[in-house]
Structure formats: structure tokens, C-alpha cells
Amino acid sequence: MNPCIAACIAALLHAPNPAPRATYIGRENQLNVRVPRIATEAMSVVVDGVLDEAIWSQAALLTGFSQFSPQDGIPAADSTQVLLWYSPTALYVGIRAFERHGAVHATLADRDKISADDNVQLLLGTFHDQRQAYVFAVNPFGVQMDGTIVESGPASGGWTPTLSGRAAPDLSQDFVFTSKGRLTEYGYEVEIRIPFKSLKYQSADLQSWDINVVRQVQHSGFEDSWVPAKRSNSSFLAQAGSLEGLAGFDRGLVLDLNPFVTQKSNGAPSATGWNYKNSTPQLGGNVRWGVTNNLTLNGTVRPDFAEVESDAGKFVIDPRQALFFPEKRPFFLDGLEQFNVPHNLVYTRRIAQPEGATKLTGKVAGTSIGFLSADDDPSLSANGRYQTLYNILRAQRDIGGQSRIGMAYTDRMVGGDYNRVADVDGRLLFGDVYSGSFQYAESFDKTRDVGTNAPLWEGILARNGKRFGFRYTMTGISDKFRASSGFISRAGIAHGAIDHRGTWFNERGSVLETLTGDILFDDTWQYTHLMRRGDAQDKKFHLSSSAGLRGGWILGAGVYWETFGYDTQLYGNYRIERTVGAKVDTIPFVGVGRIPNRDYVATLSTPQWSWFNASLLYIGGQDENFFEWAQANIHYISLALTARPTDRLRLTGNFDYQDYWRRTDQSLVGRNVIPRLKVEYQLTRSMFLRVVGEYDLAEHDDLRDETRTFFPLIIGGQKALATRSASLHGDYLFSYQPNPGTVLFLGYGDRGDAPPNPADRFTYQPLVRSADYFFVKYSYLFRM
């Protein structure tokens, strides 16, 4: 035998066997994962959704999932395998999702539109603080959904109670990563590559990250977790496992340049016909620089709204409450979680048309920081000449195992005027299921040389038990508190609430799987009345329940007993036109002291079927008629549905309806109707067509003093005659977006108004086009 061949055979016979794959079974609390580092990518792993490269045989295997929702503590009905390894430049994730009990739900959707599909979510806490995490999610085709989670305690609100659970991710931000998936005989398989350039993480040479994996199975309505997490724990992220011994990262230079150009043409009717006014092409751009692994510096020049559809219409249910619309501009969304402050003391949409802005975000030595400075367009100031300067600072410090304390400072300056707010807040977790939070803020305002200081404060104690929970809240906002860099829906009030929730669980697969009941006492005072120990203005007592049925159905019902006190501030400009014989004069409008209400509430949510899902809210009974300050019979309907006739076509419809009927003669006081339809067709993963149509109808009758004299009302010196408006808005968009930052948008929008019919005040004339526009935007992401 040739000596060389013999030597090779001998070497093979004596070579050590390949190391067995490291397997981590979540149900057995094997949660400390050693992820192999493979120093070279010379094997040319192609992210194609097929885990057939030899390198995957070396990956760590995460398996042994547990059910988290609707009931925790039991093995998952379907098996899931997650493979992990990393190179110097990226983390690689392979997913095998086995499905034995039903069909896989998958569509070729736009980014972040996969919540109705089966999906797997990777939660990465790169600062190992168990307080915040990146979320990278994929559906069976590899369509992406991404964002962040920053836990701030159990959410309050909602018409009927919900189970205790985990915080939902904020999907505002988009990160650059690669994914591809495919359906298989056993379920589906997905491959993911997450570049370290897209992440902020610790500066240490050797570090650990938090990790968990969540799988949503739509045909059953179940949610599974690799970590055997308990619903009763006040923090879902605190129960995460860990990736141990991570080292040798090589991000290189982290520098993203994102220039863009937009052009808009507005059309309107004129004496000579339909005319268009072309705007000057607007050049702008964003820059993102990873100063260090844990600090990112962003800058922008003239950011715009051109990449999003118009804000959806909303009802003004209580005229004392301002409407909130979320931020949508990419520059302000990046790192937005670092600016979360209770009561929205930071609201970046206040910065309307900045000439330029800069931002620093990250985490250093256990302290999360965010600093934002912006210079708004002078034309938006009161005199059209002064620059409006914003400086916003937010810092949060980790304390103890899961607690934190934070501070915020906002400064808005216009000429010699300013508004400044200083804030301190915190959240304390103890006993696994208990949490307490506090906030104190002071505003310092100077307008036309008149200065005022005023406080805002809040305290919350909560228990997030699986079967029993409560939430006690006390809040006060002075009537002189001003937050010009934030969003305060209603100042000048104090609010207290006592909320108790109980849940009963049945066996998995039963017709009735869960039953939850809730009792709420809720009072609202005028702030000055509370300080003088006065009576509450609005008092509420709510009894509500919800039932979770097999397959993902959720039914809810409630009865609300409420009383509302007369608000002198809201009706300060109201008068009554009194007619006695031939004499006509005006007298003060004083209203009745208190209005009693009783509302009946019903909710319904269907399962996430592969082709359809819907939700319905109905409220009926007696409620306050703010138009005339009287009790009225009301109907409120909010219907939302999504249909997926094919894996590329998605139809999303919303129908909101609200009316008020006088109890004295059953005449209609007012009505609002907003139907909205969005049609999206996904040509490819990066290319889609979208059409949005919204019809807005608002009307009210001639107003009168309904509770006392029945004489006509005068508001602001004008007789409150019937008003009616109807309009139709349309938005049409072609989008090409291969990755976040590189986009081509071609859009058209129009508006038509329907004037009232003079011959019949309850009908309208045909819609007449009143305005339209064309726009184009192109941007390109240069990633260094």
C-alpha cells in the first residue's frame, strides 16, 4: 500500500469524533446557551431558507418549548427547533417549526404585517439587563417583523379585561437583517442573518445576552415560549435565558448614509379650472454612526412624512381629550424607546418641520441615555420669524434585579419664551408579581414675560398575577402644567382608579379555556377641587368579563355605571337664546349638575384564520351628550376586519360609527361615521401596491338647552345651528423597498367634499373633488 494512503487512513481512524450538537431544552430549564463562534464565513452560507449547509450541524439547538398563552406551565402542542451560531460579523438563526395539528398560515405580506400569520419571534437583550430587547420576527416565508420591547408594567384600559401576559413589541423601528423561509412537509423552515452592525450592545470583550424565542400558532391561537415563562411574573423579559461567552465581534465601521429627494405637486380648483402648484424638490437625508458598540449618533436634514399614508380618522368621544397620533418619521423612530417617559412628556411630533436635528442614544454602565436636539422651521412660530429650538434629555438607571429610575428634561425655546419640564420617575419590581411606579414632573413656562410653574405626579401599585391581579392608580396634573415638547391629553385633572381582575383556567382544548372578570372604580376630579378635598367630577363603576374559547375566540361583555359632573370650563362660552313673547335675549347656560349613565358593552374577536379575522366593539345605552350637556341614547360600533383571499392580497377594513339621540323626543343630536378600506397587493417581498379610501361624515342638529329651557344654544357668540360635513379621501401608492432606507414611492392622493343638500338637511349633494396631490420619493441606504 502506498505509504501516503496508509498514513491518511490511519489519521482518519484515530481522528476524534465530531462533538455532539449542544442541545438546550427550555422545559428542563437549560437556559444558559453556549453559542458556537465560527470564525470564517468562507463556507458561503446562503440565506435561502434551506438549512442544508454543513455549518448548521455545529449550531446550538434550542428546543423543548412551553405554552405561554392562553395558559402557561404545560408543554407546547407543536415542536419547534431553533439553531444558533455566530460569525465575527453576524448572528445566524435557523428555525424548524413542526406543525401536526393544522394548516400553516403564511402570506407574502409587507414588512411588519405578519401578525395574522404563523410566526417565530427572536427576543435579544443585547445589554443583558432583562429590561429591553430587540424583536426579530419572521413568518413561514421569511417576511420580517421587527421592533423593540421596553417593559413599563401591565397596560391599563380596554373595554373588557384581558389576561395577564407579555408586553407587545413596538414595531416602529426597522432594522437591516436578512431572512428567507419556505413551507415543508412537516411545517416550515426559516433562515435568518442579523448583522451586528444593526445592533447596539455592550462594549465588553466577553459578554452575555438575554434570549428567548416565541412562536405564535394561528390555527389554535396558542403562543409558545422557549423559556418556561410564567404569566404571573411582572416581567416577561426577566425570565429570559442567556447566550453565554460571546466574543470576537467585528462590526467594522458602522456608518449609514440615507439621502433622499421628494417632490410634491398639489392640485386645487380655481377660476380658470384645475391648477397644480409644484413644490421645489426637497433634498434631505439621515446619517447613523455607531460611535461605539453601545452608542449611536443620528443626524437628519429636513426629514419628511412622504413614506406613510395619512393618519386614520378618529372620533372625538370626549371633547376634553386631545387626539394622539403616533410618530412615523424614520429619523425620530430610530432609538425612540430611549425617550419613553410616562404621560408622553416626550412627543417628537411636536417637532413639526425641522430644518435639522441630531440624536444620541445608547446604554453606558447600566444607564440608558437619549439626547435629541432639533431646530424647527421658523415659519411655524407665532410671528413666522423665530427659530423653535428643542433640546430633550432622557436617562434611565438600572437598580436592583429588575427596577429602574429615570429622569427627563425637555426645553422648547421660541424667541424669549420657553417651556421646560423636569421629570423623575421609576419602576420597582418585587415579589415576582408586584410592581410599583412613580412620577413627579414640574413645568417651567414663560410666555410674554409671564412665568408659571406647575406639577404633575403619579403613583401606581400593581399585581400581575396569573389568576388574580390588581392595579391602583392616583394621578394629578395641574391646570397650569404645560409640556410643549410632550403630549398631555387633558391637563387640570386628578384621576384615581382601583381595578381588580380574576381569571379562571380550564384544560387546554376545552370549549371554554379561560374566563376573566374585572371590577373597576374610577374617579376624576378637577385638580383644584382635589386640592381642596372637593368631590369627584366624573365617577365610574365598571363590571366586565371576557371568555377565551377553543381556537382563539374571545368574547367580552360589561356594564358601566357612570356619572359626569358639569364642567364649567368646557361650557364657558355657551349661552342660551331665550324668547319670551316678542322679546329675545341671552341668559347664562348653567346645565344640570350631574348626568347619570349606564352603558352596555360587548366585544368579539375571531381566531386568526388563514383567510380572515375580525374584531367588534359595541356600546349602547345612556351616555353623556356633550353637544348639549344632557343624557342621550347612544350607539357606538367599531368593527375591524382583515381578509386575505390569496397569499398576496390583503384587505383591511374599519368601520366606526357613533350617534346620540335625545331622550326627550328621540331626535338625532349628532352622528359620526368613518368607514376605511385599505387594499394591498404584494407583487414581491419588496414591492407592493396600496389603495386607501376613507369616508368621514360628521353632523349635529340645531343645539338646544336640552335639560332645562329647550331654547337654542349660542356658542362663542354664534347660534349653534346644524352643521354637516362629508368627505372622501383616497391614497394610492406604489412602493419598492428592498431594505429599510432604500425606497421608491410613487403616490397620488385626492379629496372630495359633499356639501349638504339645501332642500333636505339630512342628505348630501354628490361628492365634488376639492384637492389632490402627486408625490415621488427616492432614498438609498449606503451602509459602510
Q: Which amino acid is at 470?
A: F
The residue ranking higher by pLDDT, 323 or 296, is 296
For 417-468, what is each residue's pLDDT tens digit?
999 999 999 999 988 889 999 999 999 999 988 999 999 999 999 998 889 9
**347: confidence class by pLDDT, cuts 50, 70, 90:** very high
Mean pLDDT of 334-341: 91
All three cell numbers of 625, joined, read 351628550
Instruction: Answer positive or negative: Cα dihedral of 501, 506, 507, 512.
Output: negative
For 586-626, what is each residue's pLDDT tens digit?
999 998 999 999 999 999 999 988 899 999 999 999 999 99
Domain 19-247 in CATH 2.60.40.1190? yes
Contacts of 59 (CB under 8 A, 6+ apart): 21, 35, 36, 83, 84, 85, 92, 94
Q: pTM for this structure? A: 0.88
pLDDT computed for residue 162 by the predictor:
80
Residue 722: CB atoms within 10 Å:
13
State yes or no: pLDDT of 16 exceeds 50.
no
Contacts of 643 (CB under 8 A, 6+ apart): 611, 612, 650, 651, 653
**759: confidence class by pLDDT, cuts 50, 70, 90:** low
**533: confidence class by pLDDT, cuts 50, 70, 90:** confident
Angstrom CA distances, 295 to 207, 258, 370, stand at: 17, 19, 10
pLDDT computed for residue 440 by the predictor:
98
State yes or no: pLDDT of 7 exceeds 70.
no
Residue 542: CB atoms within 10 Å:
21
For 208-225, what is each residue's pLDDT tens digit?
999 999 999 998 889 999
34 burial via Cβ count (<10 Å: 0-12, 13-18, 19+) = middle
Angstrom CA distances, 775 to 284, 304, 310, 377, 727, stand at: 15, 12, 13, 21, 21
Q: Report whether 760 contacts 245 (CB < 8 A).
A: no
Mean pLDDT of 339-362: 93
For the chain, what is the total number of helices (H) and then of strands (E)? 3, 47
Q: Report whether 61 contacts 82 (CB < 8 A).
A: yes
Mean pLDDT of 89-100: 95
Query: d(Cα 303, Cα 329) in Å, to the nearest integer?
Result: 7
Q: Quick check: helix, strand or coil at residue 523? A: strand
Range from 27-36, 102-111, 555-564 carrying the lowest mean pLDDT = 102-111
**30: confidence class by pLDDT, cuts 50, 70, 90:** very high
Q: Which of 575, 563, 399, 376 is nearest to 485 (CA)?
A: 376
pLDDT computed for residue 4 by the predictor:
41
For 160-213, what is each residue's pLDDT tens digit?
888 777 888 999 899 999 999 999 999 999 999 999 999 999 988 999 999 999
577 burial via Cβ count (<10 Å: 0-12, 13-18, 19+) = middle
Query: d(Cα 523, Cα 505) in Å, to the nearest integer?
Result: 31
For 76-91, what is each residue's pLDDT tens digit?
999 999 999 999 999 9
Range from 221-225, 226-230, 312-316, 434-438 carrying the lowest mean pLDDT = 312-316
**13: confidence class by pLDDT, cuts 50, 70, 90:** very low
State yes or no: pLDDT of 488 exceeds 90.
yes
The residue ranking higher by pLDDT, 637 or 250, is 637
Mean pLDDT of 371-386: 86
Mean pLDDT of 650-658: 96
pLDDT computed for residue 307 by the predictor:
55
**Per-residue 3-state assignment (H helix, E strand, C coil) for 419-433:** EEEEEEEEEEEECCC
Range from 168-172, 521-525, 608-612, 755-759 carrying the lowest mean pLDDT = 755-759
Query: What angle is formed at CA 133 by the lines to CA 246 and CA 108, rounded to 5 degrees?
Result: 105
Q: Report whether 562 contacts 536 (CB < 8 A).
A: no
Angstrom CA distances, 417 to 176, 447, 484, stand at: 41, 5, 12
Q: Report whether 560 contacts 540 (CB < 8 A).
A: yes
Mean pLDDT estimate for the chain: 90
Query: d(Cα 680, Cα 690) in Å, to the nearest integer?
Result: 4
State yes or no: pLDDT of 476 exceeds 50.
yes
All three cell numbers of 510, joined, read 376545552
* % of the chain residues with pLDDT over 70: 94
Q: Quick check: helix, strand or coil at residue 495? A: strand
Query: d(Cα 539, Cα 301) in Å, to the nearest integer?
Result: 48
Mean pLDDT of 620-646: 95
Q: Report whether 414 contacts 316 (CB < 8 A).
A: no
